[in-house]
């Protein structure tokens, strides 16, 4: 495996960062998770746009243009001869001192990893997930906006630990007003009376690339859709529930907090959207040749 780091490709074992890097010391940086399907990088431009938006939000200047970054992601896939892959693109504040001052970090660290990933075992796409409500609440938007895809993921990790302790794969995170925000790694949707619903991003959810794709598919196929403030009671009584994410794609949920959702099987609209989404991954992105 070859890792891109600061302008060159190195072997996995040689891909190292300084112990003084503020990405390591303080979680000071941003990242993207990106998928390629049969030599097409799905919505690469949208991922790069979000990366730069996140960097702007923490006043981190990326020393590459968006086009250069797109080209470097593609080069990393080619270097590893991967047609189907998961790409992790990371920009840290770079090496500094032991203080918090970002001005002490003159040069960001950039690295890109291209590898395989399977977030959930394949069986769950057929039978659905059982998930729980996390004890850990979502960070306040005014304190650390989850729409910034930063390296500071401790909030998500603590909620993931809640899921692990319950013996499930994923956990729903509520905001301080007990509205559903998202899950630890995924956005969340529900279906009620044939209407597709999802929480608005301004209450504590990431503006997911797959989330946006699902919303666009729904609108294109005349599925009634609405962003809406939702409580756990709404999800308990939903006809269908599913999660979306770059690694997860679209995965059905059939049980929440031991309560069966709908008829306990992946729903018709969920499966329809998954089919439409997988067709989209064949055409919507940047093509390359290995």
Torsion-angle region of residue 14: left (phi > 0), alpha (psi -120 to 50) or beta?
A: alpha
**Mean pLDDT, rounded, for 129-142:** 96
Read off the pLDDT of residues 234-246 as tens digits, 9 standing for 90 and up: 999 999 999 999 9
**Mean pLDDT, rounded, for 265-279:** 97
Look up residue 84 and give its two tokens.
């189907």
CATH of 2-115, one of 3.30.470.20, 3.30.470.10, 3.10.20.30, 3.30.1330.20: 3.30.470.10
- Residue keyed to tokens 């504040």: 93
Helices (H), 129-267: 154-166, 209-220, 232-236
pLDDT score, position 117: 82
Q: Specify whether the CB–CB gap between 23 and 17 falls below 8 A.
A: yes
Q: Where are the domains of the chain?
A: 2-115, 123-280
Confidence of residue 121 (pLDDT cuts 50, 70, 90): confident
Catalytic residues: 149
Element (H, E) at 113: strand 109-115
What percent of the chain clears pLDDT 90, i.e. is strictly above it?
A: 97
CATH class of segment(s) 123-280:
alpha beta
């Amino acid at each position: 495996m070859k890792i891109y780091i600061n302008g060159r490709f190195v072997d996995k074992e040689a891909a190292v960062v300084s112990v003084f890097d503020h990405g390591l010391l303080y979680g000071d940086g941003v990242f993207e998770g990106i998928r390629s399907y049969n030599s097409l990088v799905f919505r690469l431009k949208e991922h790069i746009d979000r990366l730069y938006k996140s960097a702007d939000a923490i006043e981190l200047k990326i020393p590459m243009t968006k086009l250069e970054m797109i080209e470097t992601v593609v080069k990393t896939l080619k270097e590893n001869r991967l047609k189907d892959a998961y790409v992790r693109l990371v920009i840290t504040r770079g090496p500094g001192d032991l203080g918090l001052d970002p001005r002490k970090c003159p040069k960001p660290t950039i690295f890109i990893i291209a590898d395989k990933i399977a977030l959930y075992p394949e069986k769950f796409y057929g039978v659905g997930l059982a998930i729980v409500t996390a004890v850990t609440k979502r960070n306040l938007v005014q304190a650390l906006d989850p729409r910034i895809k930063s390296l500071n993921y401790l909030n998500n990790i603590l909620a993931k630990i809640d899921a692990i302790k319950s013996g499930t794969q994923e956990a729903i995170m509520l905001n301080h007003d007990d509205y559903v925000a998202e899950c630890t790694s995924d956005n969340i949707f529900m279906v009620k009376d044939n209407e597709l619903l999802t929480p608005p991003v301004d209450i504590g959810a990431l503006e997911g690339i797959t989330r946006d794709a699902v919303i666009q598919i729904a609108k294109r196929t005349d599925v009634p859709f609405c962003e809406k403030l939702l409580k756990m009671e709404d999800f308990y009584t939903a006809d269908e529930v599913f999660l979306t994410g770059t690694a997860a794609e679209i995965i059905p949920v059939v049980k929440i907090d031991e309560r069966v959702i709908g008829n306990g099987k992946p729903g018709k609209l969920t499966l329809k959207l998954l089919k439409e989404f997988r067709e989209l991954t064949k055409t919507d992105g940047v093509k390359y040749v290995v």
